Amino acid sequence: MPHIRRVTWARTFRIIRSLYPPIDLFEDIADPKDWEALASVEAKTNPRVRGEIGDLGKVPVHRRISGPGVSYVMAPFVHCSPLRPGRFSDGSYGIYYAGNSEDVALAETIYHHARFMASTREDAGWTSQFRLLVGSVDADLTDVNDLPGVLHVSDYSLSQKAGAEIRASGSDGLVWNSVRCPGGECLGAFWPDVVSVPLQSSHFSYHWSGNRVDFIKRLNTGEVLEVTDP
């Protein structure tokens, strides 16, 4: 059965696509309770603003965070979509996913990027750039390692059901053993205020061979690493 566990990681690691810009509204000093009003004013002169900001209604005012760098944390919650489900969400609500090491974050994103590239039949090459976000966490999270079926390699039906039920029960998030990186752990925060605001670290480029991600390049050093199958 799932149980509550204090999760204290001095560093959390999350990798996202580099193409996502900061959201000015979140980075501003404005009080989060005023965001809807400010967004409405901005949208009158710039219709794209609402699309950039996302659905603020997904995050209650008391769970919002604001200030420099918070776009990295707010984005997965306000831009969630049923078109982009995850292991513990059907896409109707957002989750901030992170690992307890850089290797975990790389392994998880390499897997999902490869699935996307294969499904869209992309040509081989250095196809996409990513950035590493390093933060921290000190929170009571629900350990789901003993829940049957939630760590299936590719079937998320049971894990999504469990995620929704645990979130509805009032949990702040989940922790589990990484499926893609043996020995590592992952967390999924249900709300932005559960984790710290991360700092941007390394930049990566992933090389697509035509059927798998076979190399990654650390762009700030030029180091190229071969990706071995787990």
Where are the chain's structural domains? 3-226
| Closest of 16, 223, 224, 13 to residue 131, by C-alpha | 16
Angle at the Cα of 54 from the Cα atoms of 132 and 61, rounded to 5 degrees: 95
Interatomic CA distance for residues 78 and 207, integer angstroms: 30
Summarize the confidence of residues 18-42 as an average pLDDT: 57
pLDDT at 5 over 80: yes
**What pLDDT was estimated at residue 2?**
86
Interatomic CA distance for residues 71 and 79, integer angstroms: 11
Q: Measure Cα distances from 39 to 20, 109, 191 in Å.
A: 19, 32, 21
pLDDT bracket for residue 68 (50, 70, 90): confident
| Closest of 197, 194, 218 to residue 206, by C-alpha | 218
pLDDT bracket for residue 108 (50, 70, 90): very high
- Report pLDDT digits (tens) over 138-194: 999 999 999 999 999 999 999 999 999 999 999 999 999 999 999 999 999 999 999
3-class SS letters over 95-157: CEEEECCHHHHHHHHHHHHHHHHHHCCCCCEEEEEEEEEEEEEEEEEEECCCCCCCCCCCCCH
| Cα dihedral value 33, 34, 40, 46, nearest 10 | -110
If one compares 108 and 122, the residue with the highest pLDDT of the two is 108
What percent of the chain is predicted at pLDDT more than 70?
85
Interatomic CA distance for residues 17 and 40, integer angstroms: 28
